[in-house]
Amino acid sequence: MAQNIYDDPDFLAGYSQLARSVSGLDGAAEWPSMRALLPDLRGCRVVDLGCGFGWFCRWAREQGAASVLGLDVSEQMLAHARAATGDETIAYQTADLETLELPPVLFDLAYSSLALHYVEHLAPLLTTVHRALVPGGHLVFSMEHPIYMAPSRPEWLGTEDGRRVWPLDQYLIEGKRLTDWFAKGVVKYHRTIGTTLTLLIRLGFSIRHVQEWCPTAEQVAAKPELAQERDRPMFLLVAAQR
Amino acid sequence: MAQNIYDDPDFLAGYSQLARSVSGLDGAAEWPSMRALLPDLRGCRVVDLGCGFGWFCRWAREQGAASVLGLDVSEQMLAHARAATGDETIAYQTADLETLELPPVLFDLAYSSLALHYVEHLAPLLTTVHRALVPGGHLVFSMEHPIYMAPSRPEWLGTEDGRRVWPLDQYLIEGKRLTDWFAKGVVKYHRTIGTTLTLLIRLGFSIRHVQEWCPTAEQVAAKPELAQERDRPMFLLVAAQR
């Protein structure tokens, strides 16, 4: 089973303070870019892989989705998600993305925000997702960018000549990464962009869009600390189609 | 017009000493990976964008290509290429990839090795290439990896705690990069992987394969200095199809 760090009390307490937890989709700087990759949701049957507090599930219904299935490994987050809506066309289920099963040819959109980098074995999951989509169905996801995840010490480094650089190493060495983020020993799995995209293609997906997310000038003006994101990407956004 | 650094005497003298110049395709560590992306060349009409000394053009003919057009901006490299073969089904032409024109619907394969990162405006070039390919025709290219190209100082950096890191910065700031490589002020153009792939998709290409090149264990055993390539990718390989 995948690590369930989101039910670690310290982790959940910290994570719950993030803008994306407090304010939902609009608290996530990359959301406008993700939103631009989505199809028209009216009438869509949607599955959200790693739905967390359920912000996207509720938003998808507001956009006219016919049915929304939110999946997460965190019981506590699902409890919050369930408490936040009485909408009977949204269902929340406990699911481990490492061993996920889904009914075939049933969904128009599979969505996932910042969850897939916790998954060790992406091929079985994406095989399941491909089969669960109708032909022409969409897969839109974000994950931590491999540049962000790769380094042995993923922290900004000051140089003698005054630069602030991202100390990249072991980029082409894929596999487990341990970091401390709200809790010690958070487990993530590093894969290159090439590995992820070529896997999608091999499974029968067409790649529709690949975006290494960059804050806009307006976002940096409103929140100057976002400027450093221009030096190394934090998020990878991908849209694909069955 | 694109910078023609390859006709700079110092540059050409240095470049000519590289294994890939002396030994041809087998002198390029990424060649086995590039070769694996190619279609069966028997009967193919091939255009090589940035053919240099013509190694690939001659190899394509050995594989059974029906017609090979080698294009390069460097008159001196083309002179070497022409002198190296009497094969009348290979033609070499001077061409600036910034303003390239090609006849439409005529080629089965457009190939380019480590040339596209010298091109400032990729959209007009790739539009021309797309139109020049037959439906189902292949585009296979390598370029310098954006991680390799992005930094303000693209040199390994030693840290106080004994790491050797690649000092990434300005990754999301696309555009001109000046480096010193055999000559001062070599001009390259940095683009993210996302930008390149999404451009290809927008122009009508299907992405078939994306590879951030990594040396094999056998290659590192034979040439230990290749081990550092695992820390940051040097080459991006892409296969696409009209």
Selecting from A159, A194, A210 the residue whose C-beta is nearest the C-beta of B212 gives: A194
The answer for residues whose C-beta is within 8 angstroms of residue A125's C-beta and 6 or more apart is: A49, A97, A98, A100, A116, A119
Q: Determine, yes or no, domain membership for B25.
A: no
Burial of A93 (0-12, 13-18, 19+ CB in 10 A): exposed
The answer for residues whose C-beta is within 8 angstroms of residue B138's C-beta and 6 or more apart is: B38, B39, B108, B109, B110, B208, B239, B240, B241, B242
The answer for residues whose C-beta is within 8 angstroms of residue B105's C-beta and 6 or more apart is: B131, B132, B133, B134, B135
The most confident of A19-28, B155-164, B176-185, by mean pLDDT: B155-164
Evaluate if residue A234 carries a pLDDT over 90: yes
Give the tens place of pLDDT for each residue, A196-208.
Answer: 999 999 999 999 9
- Measured between CA atoms, the residue of chain B closest to residue A241 is B206
Q: Determine, yes or no, domain membership for A21.
A: no
CA distance B14 to A210: 36
Burial of A13 (0-12, 13-18, 19+ CB in 10 A): exposed
Q: Determine, yes or no, domain membership for A24.
A: no
CA distance A106 to A242: 12
Question: What's the rounded mean pLDDT across residues A141-153?
Answer: 97
Q: Determine, yes or no, domain membership for B208.
A: yes
CA distance A138 to A217: 29
Identify the pLDDT of residue B236.
Answer: 98
Q: How far is A148 from chain B (nearest CA, A)?
A: 11
Number of separate domains in chain B:
1
Q: Determine, yes or no, domain membership for A205.
A: yes
Question: Is A165's CB within 8 Å of B169's CB?
Answer: yes
Identify the pLDDT of residue A1.
Answer: 65
Nearest to A36 by CA among A156, A195, A211: A211
- Classify the C-alpha dihedral A228-A34-A48-A171 as positive or negative: negative
Identify the pLDDT of residue B1.
Answer: 65
Instruction: State the residue range of the domain holding B93.
Output: 5-13+31-241
Task: Report the predicted TM-score, pTM, of the whole model to 2 decimal places.
Answer: 0.95
Evaluate if residue A192 carries a pLDDT over 70: yes
Give the tens place of pLDDT for each residue, B63-97.
Answer: 999 999 999 999 999 999 999 999 999 999 999 99
Q: Determine, yes or no, domain membership for B19.
A: no
Evaluate if residue A172 carries a pLDDT over 70: yes
Q: Which two tokens stand for residue A39?
A: 């199809």
Evaluate if residue B5 carries a pLDDT over 90: no
Give the tens place of pLDDT for each residue, A67-104.
Answer: 999 999 999 999 999 999 999 999 999 999 999 999 99
CA distance B165 to B135: 44
Share of chain A above pLDDT 70, in %: 100
Q: Are A183 and A5 in contact (CB under 8 A)?
A: yes
Q: How far is A164 from chain B (nearest CA, A)?
A: 8
Q: Determine, yes or no, domain membership for B21.
A: no
Nearest to A16 by CA among A49, A145, A7, A144: A7
What average pLDDT does chain B have?
A: 95
Evaluate if residue A123 carries a pLDDT over 70: yes
Question: What's the rounded mean pLDDT across residues A13-25?
Answer: 88
Read off the CATH number of the domain in which A76 is found: 3.40.50.150
Q: Determine, yes or no, domain membership for B115.
A: yes
CA distance B6 to B71: 13
Question: Is A167's CB within 8 Å of B171's CB?
Answer: no
